[in-house]
Amino acid sequence: MIVQIPEPLQIIDSLYLKGYRSSLIDRALTKIIELERANTLKQASELQSKLQTYELQYQMASEIFYQRFSEGSLGDEMDYFEWGVIYELWQSVQECLQVLQPKRQ
């Protein structure tokens, strides 16, 4: 998959590759990442809450459910499709959080 990097990021990348440094840009980028991390953590919490509702209702961990659902060993109830979509969204959000977490130095 080809991803188009937005022009403003390309400009900043070009500047920094040429040795340019700006504390203003650094602070702005740090703040953007912090806001995105906070938003993503909120999404993760909301999705986790929805997953827990299904887990309690069906007495099954979401990971086990998703494996069985993907194998086709569960029925085709609408709840299962919704649970599956929520689990996929949760996984996607977890992947984003891995990228957004601050790097330990």
Residue boundaries of the structural domains of the chain? 35-100
- The 8-class DSSP code of residue 61 comes to -
Indicate whether this model's pTM tops 0.85: no
pLDDT for residue 57: 96
Split at pLDDT 50, 70, 90, the class of 105 is: low
Evaluate if residue 92 carries a pLDDT over 90: yes
HSE of 70, CA atoms in CB hemisphere, 13 A: 10
Per-residue pLDDT, averaged over 49-63, amounts to 97
Which pair of structure tokens corresponds to residue 58? 């069906």
Q: How far apart are CA 47 and CA 67, in angstroms?
A: 18
Which pair of structure tokens corresponds to residue 102? 């601050």
Per-residue pLDDT, averaged over 92-97, amounts to 97
Evaluate if residue 53 carries a pLDDT over 90: yes
3 state DSSP class of 66: helix
HSE of 30, CA atoms in CB hemisphere, 13 A: 8
Split at pLDDT 50, 70, 90, the class of 91 is: very high
